[in-house]
């Protein structure tokens, strides 16, 4: 079974703190994603990465950065946490089949971040 593991289920941080959310996958997937999910807005893509040291902005990258130094690990960084970044954060990974087609995305269990 594919396993995508996020470092924390629940996190409480203060405004202005630098926050690191870690995600590790064990299936050697090329693609990794960070989403945030808010009521009524669904999942919104923050950043994604299709290879080590590669990153692409998603739809809402402002206030966030990412790091992918190793294939299995994709980190989301909140440079200076603000209350409007209180949300559920979901990491996902996606591989590639021999046919060249991409697999479905597999999700971590989510990190519920509260910024106070």
Partner 1 sequence: RKEVEQDPGPFNVPEGATVAFNCTYSNSASQSFFWYRQDCRKEPKLLMSVYSSGNEDGRFTAQLNRASQYISLLIRDSKLSDSATYLCVVGYNKLIFGAGTRLAVHP
3-class SS letters over 28-88: CCCEEEEEEEECCCEEEEEEEECCCCCCEECCCCCCEEEEEEECCEEEEEECCCCHHHCEE
Window 76 to 105, contacts with partner 1 (CB under 8 A):
90, 92, 94, 101-102, 104-105
Q: Is 43 in the site for partner 1 (CB under 8 A)?
A: yes
CB of 64 to partner 1, least distance (A): 15
Window 57 to 76, contacts with partner 1 (CB under 8 A):
58
- Residue pair 69/27 in contact (Cβ under 8 Å)? The answer is no
The residues of the shown chain that bind partner 1, judged by CB under 8 A, are: 33, 35, 40-43, 45, 48, 50, 56, 58, 90, 92, 94, 101-102, 104-110
């Amino acid at each position: 079974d594919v396993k995508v593991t996020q470092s924390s289920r629940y996190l409480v941080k203060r405004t202005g703190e630098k926050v690191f959310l870690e995600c590790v996958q064990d299936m050697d997937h090329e693609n990794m994603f960070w989403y945030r999910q808010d009521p009524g807005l669904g999942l919104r893509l923050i950043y994604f990465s299709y290879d080590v040291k590669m990153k692409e902005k998603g739809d809402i990258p402002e206030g966030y950065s990412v790091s992918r130094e190793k294939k299995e690990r994709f980190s989301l960084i909140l440079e200076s946490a603000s209350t409007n970044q209180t949300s559920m954060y979901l990491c996902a990974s996606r591989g590639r089949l021999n046919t060249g087609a991409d697999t479905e995305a597999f999700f971590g269990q989510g990190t519920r971040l509260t910024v106070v």
